[in-house]
Amino acid sequence: MGNDQTFMEWARTFFSDTQNLALTGAALAFLALCSWRIFARTGHNGALGLLMFVPGVNVVMLGVLAFGRWPIEKTMRTLQSKSKAARQANEILERAA
């Protein structure tokens, strides 16, 4: 009986640890995907999101997101200036017509 009880304890611990490991792995994969997408949507390289898992560096990367200039902002400003120039050109053409 002693061997059966020891095996049951081992099995219970093993499966419990495996389930915990699987759940932790799934949660880390989800966080990695989320941080990758956040960085990619701001115009940065998505791989920078993986730095969120490095202690200390994650605080710096959060500061970069919060206070730094995003590459996507530069693209938006460029498109807005082109749009403004196009509107001005259309106004000039309409006045000339």
The highest-confidence range among 8-12, 32-36, 93-97, by mean pLDDT, is: 32-36
pLDDT tops 60 at residue 1: no
Round to whole Å and give the CA distance between 26 and 94. 59
- Long-range contacts: 60-68, Cβ < 8 Å, 24+? 65/38, 65/39
- What is the model's pTM? 0.63
- What is the residue whose two structure tokens read 């115009």? 43
Tell me what the pLDDT averaged over the chain comes to: 85
Structural domain containing residue 78:
2-96
Q: What is the pLDDT of residue 2?
A: 55
Q: How many domains does the chain have?
A: 1
